[in-house]
Amino acid sequence: MRDLFIKKVVFYSAIISFLLIACTKEKTDYEAERGNTVAENTEFKEVTSLVSSGYSIRIEALGGVLYRGYNDIRVIINKQQNNEPVAVSSVKLLPVQTNVQGMKIVCPHQSEMDYTLDGRYFSGYSVFTDESSAAVNWSLEIDFTVGGQTFTATQHVTVKPQVNKNRNLTTFTGKDGEQYLIALIAPWKPTVSENKLVAGIYKLDAAQLSYTTVNGYTLQLDPRMPEPSMGNHSSPNNKDLVQQADGLYHGVVNYTMTGNWTLNFILVNQNGRVIAGTEVPKDFTPGVEGRKSELYIDILF
């Protein structure tokens, strides 16, 4: 009898507690929040394939789509008849843009592709400077060597507009009169944290009509939130981008919250001369849209 009574009390108390503790507002799903603007595109899929000299060549990219900006590219070469793997000793990639005047320009890329043993593919990258249009055509030229013999295959590809602002690029003419290109490579999906920022910096060789990697420069970084209400907000502990062994430029960007950010840059050459970009105001100015450097890339996450 006594036990029953206690049980009852506990039971009703539990029910009341449960009704009262259900929260009014849902907590933010932070994992989902971070993925809001960046589509999950982590799987390599076939972009196109072709057959050449008895070999089938398969070109892959993330999500099976090539975008304007930086793209990781994989090439898999098999025998045509049985799709068996074949001993390929080297693969060279050459992405070529043909414009309406018939002029051919080679965009920034990794020419000699790396072989990855466990995946049996060759990997490299290409930075497509424009999306495909009536005026712009893209093709990939692939030179591969099997048993000392080199074959060449060319395939027309379509380059789509970039959907991820974290893979944006910018082209500009430097104070030295050269034509430059900066392409963001990482992070693909930034977080509110310290992010490793990777970019490629290239220069157009006007004689060769080809982009080459710029060596030994420094890309000074000042990230800010441009939204007027954020008053030119910035973050601490960022690091300028300097070139590392892979030829790319590595630095650190801290994003203090999600939203729109502008990466303000100043490009400085080996001799400390400013090639492009301007200092931005550092003051906190609520209500005023942040002024951007002459050299900048907007990102969003």
Partner 1 sequence: MLSLGWNVHGQNNPVTRDTTRRLAEVTVNAAAKKRIENDLKMTVSVDEYLASASNISFIKRGAYAWEPLLNNMSSERSTITIDGMHVFGACTDKMDPITSYVESNNLAAIDIKSGQEGNLHGATVAGSIDLKRRNTAFGLQKKIGGAYQTGFEFNNKQTFNLGNLYYSSDKFVADGSIAFRKAGNYYDGNDDEVRHSQYNKFNASLGLAYKTSPLSAVRVDAIFDRAKDVGFPALPMDLSLSRAIITSAAYKQLFEEGLVKVWDTKVYFNAVEHYMDDTTRPENLVHMDMPGWSTTYGLLSKINLQKDRYSSEIQVNAYDNLSIAEMRMYPQDRSKQTMFAYSWPWVTTRFASVAMNNALDLSDISRLVFGGSLGLNYNYSKYVEFNWIFHPGSPQKKNRFLPSLHASYQLNIGQFDFSLGTGFGHRAPSVSEAYGYYIYNSFDRYDYIGNPDLKNEVSYEANASAGFKTGKLSIGAKANYFFIQDYIIGRILSLGSPMNYQSVGVKGYTSLDHATLFNLALNAQYQILPGLDWKAVLTYARGQDNMGGNLPFIRPLSYQTSLHYRYKMIGVQTSMNGDFSQVNFSPEYGEDQTASYKIWNVSADYTFTIGKLNAVFQVGAENLFNEYYSTYADWGNIPRMGRNIFTSLKINF
Cβ atoms within 10 Å, residue 131: 16
**Of 128 and 261, CB closest to partner 1:** 261
Cβ atoms within 10 Å, residue 262: 22
What is d(CA 268, CA 234) in angstroms, rounded to the nearest whole number?
Answer: 21
**Of 9 and 100, CB closest to partner 1:** 9
Examine residue 234 and tell whether it contacts partner 1 (CB under 8 A): yes
**Residues 287, 228 contacting (CB under 8 angstroms):** yes
Query: Got the DSSP string for 4-62?
Result: HHHHHHHHHHHHHHHHHHS-SSPPP-HHHHHTSSS----SEEEEEEEEETTEEEEEEEE
Examine residue 135 and tell whether it contacts partner 1 (CB under 8 A): no
Site map (CB under 8 A) of partner 1, residues 32-61, x = contact: -x--xx------------------------
Chosen residue from 7, 15, 16, 205 binding partner 1 by CB under 8 A: 16
The distance from CA 77 to its chain's CA centroid, rounded to whole angstroms, is 26
Examine residue 206 and tell whether it contacts partner 1 (CB under 8 A): no
Q: What's the min distance (Å) between Cβ of 27 and partner 1?
A: 6
What is d(CA 59, CA 46) in angstroms, rounded to the nearest whole number?
Answer: 6
Site map (CB under 8 A) of partner 1, residues 258-287, x = contact: xxx---------------------x-x-xx
**Of 75 and 280, CB closest to partner 1:** 280
**Of 9 and 39, CB closest to partner 1:** 9
**Of 108 and 290, CB closest to partner 1:** 290
Task: Tell me which H or E stretch contains 212.
Answer: strand 210-213
CA 131 to each of CA 69, 98, 144, 239: distance values in angstroms, whole numbers, following the listed order: 9, 12, 26, 31
What is d(CA 214, CA 270) in angstroms, rounded to the nearest whole number?
Answer: 10
Residue 50 CB partners (closer than 8 Å, separation 6+): 56, 57, 153, 155
Chosen residue from 257, 270, 279, 294 binding partner 1 by CB under 8 A: 257
Examine residue 300 and tell whether it contacts partner 1 (CB under 8 A): yes
* Binding window for partner 1 (CB under 8 A); candidates: 69-77, 133-141, 250-258, 269-277: 250-258
Sites of contact with partner 1 (CB under 8 A): 2, 5-6, 9-10, 13, 16-17, 20-21, 23-25, 27-28, 30, 33, 36-37, 191-194, 225, 227-237, 254, 256-260, 282, 284, 286-287, 300
